[in-house]
């Protein structure tokens, strides 16, 4: 009996007979006396697992037909066999299939994943000589399947074209919807929406895959059969624009995005991920305005002074390819800090919701704490609401006497440096406030000499390299400028 129970791990389908409906003249006679015995496997519930897909499932009965007579194995969801499905045929007095095939047969018959559902089996016998049709007794137990089908994206549609508008970033552009199984029963299910640049492979480790978010709620248990429309994820102008920029579509250009939905289900058998076929849409992007994040707190140079005139609040380095990711490398004291979006206001701030967790301010976020003073690299992801603060292991040996800005965008053009102020908190941090710049270019250099200078082709913010390109100043105006000689990171903030 133990061997029989072990064999009965799941799946009833021969590859030649996957879920064929039995609609011939063998209509079940539910009140007929069984003519031969189908042995009960002795289990009340059978849970099918993906990890056991290749294991066998066998049922055995008394042999009643001699010669080349044929047996047909059928199952149904009710004891009257009103929705009878054929699993396969055999001339032996036993039938074996695999867990995978049984699972597929049940799913195709309308069973839903991770739902305990009644399954009734019996065997129909035809004699070789064309005699009477005989029926075995019925056996039944609860069976729970696992998902094999992928969700299907129903919105947006292939070829949809969206012109994104930076003046209305919060306007909803489209909704990502999908259809899937009617229920996931006792298993938990999360639907994740992802995007890549058109023609790129989601599963290639070198591909930039953007997580656009998850459907707001898990799929409800409908108790039904077949696929239903699951919940949706609304996407705004800003959502699509950020995704497009992050995967490499330049601003003010048209490019393709491939969007897919992943169903991640979890049960006692483990986690199963099924990804939809991608849907390709086209978007026209706009220049992305990435907000600054400023350091404030007693662990930083700014202390807790968030006033708009406090130039000691150093902005983190923004990232055009990953616009939700910010970095800063520099000195921190033992203490706490937060991050604010607008100098002079506490309204938009980020603090800690626990170790390594960044929590948008809702009245309950705490300080991000620094246990020991030293140089650290801070990385903040406002999309995933996470941060890391790790000790900086690079060299901090060189300390310069002066660093200034120079170039045809500056008051001294290419002749005279406009010196910056060196931080008394961290000697590698430099700043200057309210400097008037023209629409030209600039660089940073140390000690009023070209032997040490930094530049980059990126306007407004970026990482300067030694002897690099001139930094474009695209718009004339008054700027606050910050520079970090430890990393070469710079920020030009138009006032």
- What is the SS3 assignment for 116-148? CEEEEEEEEEECCCCCCCEEECCEEEEEEECCC
Sign of CA dihedral 309, 310, 312, 313: negative
Q: What is the pLDDT of residue 116?
A: 92
Structure confidence at residue 430 (pLDDT): 98
Instruction: Tell whether 397 is covered by a domain.
Output: no
Q: Which tokens go with 37? A: 């015995």
Same domain, yes or no: 319 and 418: no
314: in domain: yes
Q: What is the pLDDT of residue 293?
A: 95
Cα Rg, the chain, nearest whole Å: 33
Q: Is the pLDDT of residue 65 over 70?
A: no
In a domain, 57, yes or no: yes
Q: Does residue 161 lie in a domain region? A: yes
| Mean pLDDT confidence for 206-219 | 80
Domain identity same for 229 and 346: no
Please report which confidence band the pLDDT of residue 223 belongs to, taking 50, 70 and 90 as the band edges: very low
Which stretches of 77-187 are assigned E, i.e. beta strand?
A: 85-90, 94-98, 117-126, 134-135, 139-144, 152-155, 161-163, 172-181
Regarding whether 125 and 156 lie in a shared domain, the answer is no
Q: 424-457, pLDDT tens digit by residue?
A: 999 999 999 999 999 999 999 999 999 999 999 9
Assign 217 a pLDDT band (cuts: 50, 70, 90): low
Q: Which of 391, 415, 440 is the last residue of a domain?
A: 391
Mean pLDDT of the chain: 87
Please say if the pLDDT value at position 214 is more than 80. yes
What stretch of H or E contains 246? helix 237-247
What is the CATH classification number for the domain harbouring 229?
2.60.40
Contact 177, 232 (CB under 8 A): yes
Return the structure tokens found at 285: 């992007």
Residues 28 and 77 reside in one and the same domain = yes
- Domain of residue 449 covers 403-494
Q: What element of type H or E holds 5?
A: helix 2-7
Q: What is the dihedral of CA 436, 442, 447, 451, to 10 degrees?
A: -170
3-state SS, residue 454: strand
CATH number at residue 115: 2.60.40.10
**Considering the domain boundaries, does residue 467 fall inside one?**
yes
In a domain, 367, yes or no: yes
Pair 271, 160 in one domain: yes
Do 136 and 182 sit in the same domain of this protein? no
Label residue 359 by pLDDT band (50, 70, 90): confident
Confidence of residue 25 (pLDDT cuts 50, 70, 90): very low
pLDDT of the residue at 89: 92
Does residue 196 lie in a domain region? yes
Confidence check: pLDDT of 67 > 90: no
The pLDDT of residue 139: 95
Q: Using the predicted structure, report yes or no on whether residue 32 has a pLDDT greater than 60.
A: no
Which pLDDT score, from 0 to 100, does residue 27 have?
Answer: 45
**ω into residue 156 within 30 of 0, thus cis?**
yes
Residue 129 confidence class, pLDDT cut points 50, 70, 90: low
Residue 106 has pLDDT above 90, yes or no: yes
Residues 12 and 133 in one domain: yes
Residue range 253-280: mean pLDDT, rounded: 94
Does residue 364 sit within a domain? yes
Is residue 169 located within the same domain as residue 259? Answer: yes
pLDDT at 324: 83
Confidence (pLDDT) at 127: 63
Instruction: Indicate if 177 and 260 belong to the same structural domain.
Output: yes
Same domain, yes or no: 161 and 274: yes
Distance of alpha carbon 341 from the chain centroid = 26
In this prediction, residue 7 carries a pLDDT of 34
Could you tell me if 266 and 361 lie in one domain?
Answer: no
Using the 3D structure, point to which of 338, 368, 391 is the last residue of a domain: 391
Task: Give the residue from 359, 391, 423 where a domain finishes.
Answer: 391
Cβ pair 229, 154 in contact under 8 A = yes
Can you tell me the mean pLDDT for 173-197? Answer: 90
Q: Tokens for 447?
A: 């000690």
Six-digit token string for 306: 């968030």
Give the chain's domain count. Answer: 4
Q: How far apart are the first and last CA of the chain?
A: 81
Q: What is the CATH number of the domain that holds 469?
A: 2.60.40.3620
In the predicted structure, residue 479 carries a pLDDT above the cut 80? yes
| Angle at 235 (CA atoms; ends 230, 237), nearest 5 degrees | 165
- If asked whether residues 102 and 14 sit together in one domain, one would say yes
User: With 90 as the cut, is the pLDDT of residue 224 above it?
Assistant: no
Residue 222 has pLDDT above 70, yes or no: no
* Interval 230-240 mean pLDDT: 88
Place of tokens 């133990």: 2
Q: Over range 322-346, report the average pLDDT.
A: 93
């Amino acid at each position: 009996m133990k061997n029989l129970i072990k064999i009965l791990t799941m799946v009833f389908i021969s590859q030649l007979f996957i879920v064929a409906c039995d609609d011939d003249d063998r209509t079940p006679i539910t009140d007929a006396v069984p003519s031969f015995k189908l042995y009960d496997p002795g289990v009340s519930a059978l849970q099918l697992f993906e990890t056991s897909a290749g294991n066998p499932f066998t049922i055995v009965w008394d042999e009643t037909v001699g010669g080349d007579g044929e047996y047909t194995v059928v199952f149904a969801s009710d004891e009257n066999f009103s929705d009878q499905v054929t699993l396969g045929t055999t001339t032996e007095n036993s039938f074996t299939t695999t867990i995978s095939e049984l699972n597929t047969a049940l799913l195709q018959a309308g069973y839903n994943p991770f739902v305990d559902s009644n399954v009734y089996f019996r065997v129909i016998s035809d004699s070789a000589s064309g005699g009477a049709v005989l029926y075995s007794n019925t056996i039944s137990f609860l069976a729970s399947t696992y998902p094999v089908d992928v969700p299907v994206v129903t919105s947006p549609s292939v070829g949809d074209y969206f012109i994104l508008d930076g003046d209305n970033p919060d306007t909803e552009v489209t909704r990502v919807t999908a259809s899937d199984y009617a229920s996931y029963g006792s298993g938990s299910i999360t639907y994740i929406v992802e995007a890549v640049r058109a023609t790129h492979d989601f599963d290639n480790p070198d591909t930039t895959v953007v997580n656009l978010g998850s459907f707001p709620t898990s799929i409800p248990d409908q108790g039904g059969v077949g696929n239903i429309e699951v919940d949706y994820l609304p996407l705004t102008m800003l959502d699509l624009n950020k995704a497009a920029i992050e995967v490499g579509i330049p601003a003010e250009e048209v490019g393709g995005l491939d969007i897919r939905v992943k169903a991640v289900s979890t049960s006692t058998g483990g986690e199963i991920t099924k990804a939809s076929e991608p849907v390709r849409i086209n978007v026209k992007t706009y220049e992305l305005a990435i907000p600054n994040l400023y350091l404030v707190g007693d662990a930083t140079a700014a202390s807790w002074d968030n006033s708009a005139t406090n130039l000691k609040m150093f902005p983190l380095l923004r990232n055009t390819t990953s616009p939700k990711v910010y970095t800063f490398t520099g000195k921190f004291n033992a203490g706490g800090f937060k991050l604010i979006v607008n100098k002079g206001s506490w309204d938009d701030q980020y603090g800690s919701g626990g170790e390594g967790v960044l929590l948008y301010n809702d009245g309950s976020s705490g300080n991000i704490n620094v246990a020991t003073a030293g140089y650290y690299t801070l990385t903040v992801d406002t999309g995933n609401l996470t941060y890391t603060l790790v000790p900086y292991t690079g060299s901090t040996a060189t300390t310069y006497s002066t660093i200034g800005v120079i170039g045809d965008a500056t008051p001294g053009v290419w002749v005279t440096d406009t010196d910056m102020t060196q931080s008394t908190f961290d000697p590698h941090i430099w700043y200057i406030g309210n400097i008037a710049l023209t629409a030209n270019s600039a660089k940073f250099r140390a000690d009023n000499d070209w032997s040490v200078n930094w530049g980059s082709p990126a306007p407004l913010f970026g990482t300067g390299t030694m002897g690099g390109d001139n930094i474009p100043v695209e718009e004339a105006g008054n700027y606050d400028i910050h520079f970090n000689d430890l990393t070469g990171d710079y920020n030009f903030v138009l006032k």
